[in-house]
Amino acid sequence: MEKLEKIKFKYIFKDDYNPKYINGAFGGISPQGEIVINFYLERVALPRSQTYAFNQGMVLNEITEEREPGDHETSIVRFVENGIVLDLAHAEDIHRWLGDHIKNLKSNLKKNGCIT
């Protein structure tokens, strides 16, 4: 059998492919010994509704005690939209790949004076 000198990988993705911004992750080791990572976007909570009263001159003033839910100002939302499950070998490959990209990014930022 002839030795291949190169190989081309083609990527297939759905028409609605849409990368998501994340700023956190939660997970761990599954009972099957795989790594589970659930990605989330952490943000302040938004109220489901707000009520306003009309004051003089048709100026709107919020009636804060009628805001729902009442705890939204003291709550943080972690919106989980997707996650991944990896076996050890693939987790190590991605760890290496991500580490290489972090090192390159830091090097570029340092060259451009963005970090010291």
Model confidence over 9-26: pLDDT tens digits? Answer: 899 999 999 999 999 999
pLDDT at 47: 79
- In terms of pTM, does the model score above 0.85? no
User: What is the spatial order of strands in the sheet that 35-44 belongs to?
Assistant: 24-29, 35-44, 76-86
pLDDT of 8 higher than 70:
yes
pLDDT at 67: 67
Q: Given its phi and psi angles, is residue 33 left (phi above 0), alpha (psi -120 to 50 degrees) or beta? A: left
Q: Rounded CA gap, 32 and 5, in Å?
A: 37
pLDDT of 40 higher than 90:
yes
pLDDT of 78 higher than 70:
yes
Q: How many CB atoms lie within 10 A of CB 85?
A: 14
pLDDT of 96 higher than 90:
yes
DSSP helix/strand/coil, 84: strand
